[in-house]
Structure 1
Amino acid sequence: MSAESHPTLPPVRLHSDAELARDALGAPLFARAVRLARWAGPDTRVGIGGELVAAQLPEAAAVLGLDDADAESAGHASRAWRVAVDTGLVDVTEPEEGDGEQFGTSAPGEDLALVTRGAPGDVLDLWLAALDTVLADAAVPDLDGLVDALDAGGEIDFDRLDWNPGREADFLDEVLANLYLLTVSEGGAADGPVPLPVLAASMVVPDGMGDPTDAVLEQVSDAMMRLDDQFRQLEPIGLVEFRPVDQELMAEAADEEATADGSAGGGAGDARDDEDVSRYGMVRLTPLGLYGVRARTLEAGVDAPAVGELAGKGADALLDAVALYSEGAAQAEIEQWLAGRELPAAAAELLAAARGDDEGGPLRRLRCQQALVSAGPEAEPAVRSVLDDPELGGLARVWLAERGLRDVPAPDPEMVFWLTVDTIAAQLAADGETQELPLLMETLTAHHAGFFDQVWRVEHPATAHVLEAMGRMHPDRKAAKEARKAAFKARSRRP
């Protein structure tokens, strides 16, 4: 379920750039990088790679307010310094071979001024650069194995390490894409956390597999522990909120597996119903994380829309886009599009954009009707102007009748049948064959005697398609049979 399999991802609701920039400045790792950049100066010594020399790490840790007696403080300082260098918050002058200098120097970089005097977008660009650094670090395996993987020349033997840098980076990108998709999809996690086993399974379990095999469960368990380590590294940059795997739980699982006399499937991915799933780890993208993953997704060439980005475009672009959105996301986008517009003119533009006998026409008209609800009574003149339109007249009558307005002319039978086909075609396009659709079909056909004897003649491009769906889904068996016969007639009359 990677983003690559979705040419257009569901739209995401992002916080404003100002809010996101504040979140970026408050991310612990980024804030530490800024503090070290302000501390950097001629006496701050760096090595050949621009890293702080070991003797400088205790002072750097003190600048960050870290306990220099803590064994992890030097690591925190080193990571923050690397972020500062990679983002341009710090400029380093590395020592050159043969010049007799053992150390290089550093100074605050020009980009440091953007932290306080730049626009929110400038801060977010710096944070995205920091994110790239952190993701690169997170894709590196446990360094304990690197010493054993050195070849005779002191280079890393990647085959012995069983680590491919490109593959690891791709794995982490796909993990974040799946987490993003789980978050923004209708009925997905939304603002809630995703259990780590669910995310790991999305990376391992093949689509369509029923009960996973023991081998697949073991792979899920391995992937889960790998993600546990990576999300620990990603949390300080503000990308995720993360509850790690409970280590006591892992010890319990290991004990149970050791006493199971070789029985399979006792790994971390085999959560029992009576156990708290949160003990297996929970992760959610922060609002800043949603922004960051979306930015990387766009760079990868995947369409990842954000609610509100259509506000400055025409009604045709709006309806074409929201036709693919869930109802909730479409409503949010429509409301932002209407905001600040003269509503009578906006309603007329929406109705004009809703016309068309192409495949997407029914769903455009459904979203147009949804938009007109948000437009309110000011849309009435534009709606009344299309009462005689063969494609929009039925929609207009429904809109006026729902508001109890007077002088709504009765539709002729041809318009009623056309609107019925258009409505069902729109619902099929929007949601597929849902459980609610048979009831809609029954409601729309119940009040018309001889409905199927007439509807197959309707000049609508979706007539046969709708009748075939009614033949499968109509709750009345006799009506379903009549629908299938009518579908055959509709197919036969079309060239």
Structure 2
Amino acid sequence: MSIEWVNRAIDGLRVWGKEKGVEVDVDEVRLLCDYASDYLEVNELGDFKPGTFEELLLEIYPRKVIAPPETAPETVAAARTLIEFLVETGEIATKVAARMRATIDRIGPEMPAALADTSKYGMAKSIFSAIGADSLELGDPLPVQGATAEAVKDTATLDEDCDCPGCAPLPPVRLPAVADVVAAARQVPLLRDAHTVAGWLADHDRTTTTRRALRVKDAKQINRELGVAKPALAWRLALELGLADLTGITVVKETGFRSLAERAAEEVLDLWVGTVEFLGEEGRDVTGEALVDDAIYSIHDLLYRLQEPVPFDQVGDYLREVGDGGLVEDLPAALAALSYAGTVRLTPGGLALTDHGLWGLREMYDELGLDAPVAPDLAAGDAGALISGLLHEWFPDEAAERDVVRWLAARTPAEAAAELLSAVAGAPAQVRGVAVTIVDRLNHAAEPAVRGHLGDPELRPHAIHWLSSRGLDAPPLSEAEMLWVTVDMLALALPAAEAEPERFAENMGASGPPPEVIEDLWRVEHPDLVEVLELLGQTLPDEMAAKAARKAAFKARSRGIR
């Protein structure tokens, strides 16, 4: 973040402090200079103004710096030291210094409250506060993958033994092709409008207010003549992205300014990531509904973690929780307006991220130093990679189905069956079950490969079932094989049963094995036998069947099966 003038200023400050016998908090002063350079167009020490300190202490610091309210006096003191350095080295006039001191006197007492105000937090500060800063309590919950919007609770500080949403790792995501991201970003209304507004203001020699805001008359003219829906928002984005500069208060285009359509792909990607970051920094007037605008970063994070559309009523419940019970006057209209930013889309199932929105969020998380993994393309790997990927709970069903279809499309049925079944020879039941399930989708052309595994004791019962269910010649299943395959299929369901025991019990009540079959399962030589029987004994709604399972588990343990 530091640039040359900042480095020179800090070196001079150290010398000045030593000569004057003044204790200088160099780190705090450097941070003041860094943020002034990055966000307030301070390019040298003489550019500091009284208003610079007001924006730094009440706007930039609360948005960017993870610090408890009680540290505010340290930052205020560093600002006062910087003022004395500026005036004594001749960088500012005495009268300017007096106005700066008066500004500090006025705003200093307000800084602790600003640091404590969670509505001022930017995206980076909010995320890092949620995962690691035990000195801050974050009021904006971050959802955990797999949770519903109603179930999201307040975050806690990072704890390796904690399973709260704020401590949950980001799930792996499937990213779209970069070319598709570039093409979609070029069509984002807000990003295009930022270029339009920056170019128009510069071409017409317009000026901003002293706080760099768009003048009301210009905003009205831009809206009327150019059709820009949110001129003030587009202008703030243009400034943030460096599409325009200010000479005093006069707007000038960036060097080599070009329209979005004319920019190279890498430029477009950088501008898109900057847009995503801009939306998350603080409440933006995107929709006109304060509750929605203040929670844009939380909405993004919710959708990123769930990786599926969130029903609109659940979005409303989530917003009420984030907003301490507040209500959105017109939620459907607000969510539709949010699509202006390009990060979300409305679907029949609810609100979801756009593909380029997902890509931009992942890039932002990565830049923040968070672990933002990318899910592999399962269709590009071999059978082992496909099965391993499908076994991960984070993998969305729709993405899994697409990968399976593409993987099978690259092979003949016989090739697919041979590769899948060979990959799971001697594997655990869950792994074997995934392969068998995919093979079950194949047509008669897979017969030679399936028949070739009749000699494998663990795959033989599945191969017999596959052949006989298609009316093909197959040996009969022995009683022992029938019992073995029953245990094997139940073992495949163990993870789902542990996650949703009530649903598993309901399914078993409707189609589970009868008590007389369960009683005989204790004889089966299967590594998951006891676990399967214990699960049946705990979950089966039929007490007779549950008792049979518990009895069979006891017999299996007596045989030495664990």
TM-score category by the smaller chain?
0.5 to 0.7
Alignment of 1:23-422 (within 5 A): 23-36=184-197, 39=200, 44=205, 51=212, 54=215, 57=218, 61=222, 65-66=226-227, 76-87=230-241, 90=243, 92=245, 94-95=246-247, 103=250, 105-107=252-254, 109=256, 112=258, 115-116=261-262, 118-119=264-265, 123-138=268-283, 172-181=296-305, 184=308, 189=310, 193-200=312-319, 203=322, 219-221=324-326, 234-240=338-344, 284-288=351-355, 291-292=358-359, 295=362, 299=366, 300-303=370-373, 305=375, 309-323=377-391, 324=393, 325=395, 329-357=399-427, 361-406=428-473, 408-422=474-488
Structure with the greater relative contact order (CA < 8 A, sep ≥ 6): 1 or 2? 1
For 1:468, the equivalent position in structure 2 comes to 534
The letter for the 1-side match of 2:385 is A
The one of 515, 525, 550 equivalent to 1:459 is 525
Instruction: Return the offset for 1:201.
Output: 5.2
Secondary structure of the corresponding residue to residue 220 of structure 1 = coil
Aligned length: 385
CA contact (8 A) 1:41 1:108 kept: no
CA contact (8 A) 2:522 2:553 kept: yes
Distance 2:535 2:456 in 1: 27
Instruction: Return the offset for 1:229.
Output: 11
Instruction: Return the offset for 1:319.
Output: 0.9
CA contact (8 A) 1:366 1:426 kept: yes
Instruction: Return the offset for 1:51.
Output: 4.8
What TM-score does the superposition give when structure 2 sets the normalisation length? 0.56
Deviations 1:83-142 (A, max 9, x none): 234345x253x54xxxxx6646323657x47734645x864553232121122242699x
The letter for the 1-side match of 2:495 is A
Instruction: Return the offset for 1:26.
Output: 3.1
Deviations 1:57-100 (A, max 9, x none): 35971696149xxxxx7xx3342233234345x253x54xxxxx
CA RMSD, 1 decimal: 4.5
Distance 2:458 2:364 in 1: 38
CA contact (8 A) 1:177 1:293 kept: no
Residues 477 and 409 of structure 1: CA distance in aligned 2, closer, same or farther (over 3 Å)? same
The letter for the 1-side match of 2:191 is F
Deviations 1:295-338 (A, max 9, x none): 26863425574xx8222122222212212346555333211222
For 1:257, the equivalent position in structure 2 comes to none
Deviations 1:421-456 (A, max 9, x none): 1101112324543221333322xx57xx66523x22
Deviations 1:390-421 (A, max 9, x none): 22222222222222212x12234433322211
Residues 106 and 326 of structure 1: CA distance in aligned 2, closer, same or farther (over 3 Å)? closer
Distance 1:241 1:450 in 2: 51
Residues 78 and 451 of structure 1: CA distance in aligned 2, closer, same or farther (over 3 Å)? closer
Distance 1:50 1:337 in 2: 57
Secondary structure of the corresponding residue to residue 295 of structure 1 = helix
Secondary structure of the corresponding residue to residue 454 of structure 2 = coil
Secondary structure of the corresponding residue to residue 186 of structure 2 = helix
The letter for the 2-side match of 1:438 is G
CA contact (8 A) 1:45 1:104 kept: yes
Distance 2:517 2:193 in 1: 75
CA contact (8 A) 2:173 2:373 kept: no
Distance 2:488 2:436 in 1: 12
The letter for the 2-side match of 1:336 is R
Residues 29 and 66 of structure 1: CA distance in aligned 2, closer, same or farther (over 3 Å)? same
Instruction: Return the offset for 1:346.
Output: 3.1
Deviations 1:243-268 (A, max 9, x none): 9xxxxxxxxxxxxxxxxxxxxxxxxx
For 1:263, the equivalent position in structure 2 comes to none
The letter for the 2-side match of 1:353 is A
The letter for the 1-side match of 2:326 is S
Among all aligned residue pairs of Structure 1 and Structure 2, give the percentage whose two residues are the same amino acid.
Answer: 27
Secondary structure of the corresponding residue to residue 456 of structure 1 = helix
The letter for the 2-side match of 1:372 is V
Residues 327 and 37 of structure 1: CA distance in aligned 2, closer, same or farther (over 3 Å)? closer
Segments of structure 1 that go 5 or more residues without pairing to the other structure are 68-72, 96-100, 142-167, 205-218, 244-281
For 2:144, the equivalent position in structure 1 comes to 2
Distance 1:331 1:16 in 2: 19
Which moves more between the two structures, 290-299 or 426-435? 290-299
For 2:136, the equivalent position in structure 1 comes to none
For 2:92, the equivalent position in structure 1 comes to none
CA contact (8 A) 1:32 1:64 kept: no
The one of 456, 470, 477 equivalent to 2:543 is 477
Residues 242 and 441 of structure 1: CA distance in aligned 2, closer, same or farther (over 3 Å)? closer
The letter for the 2-side match of 1:134 is L
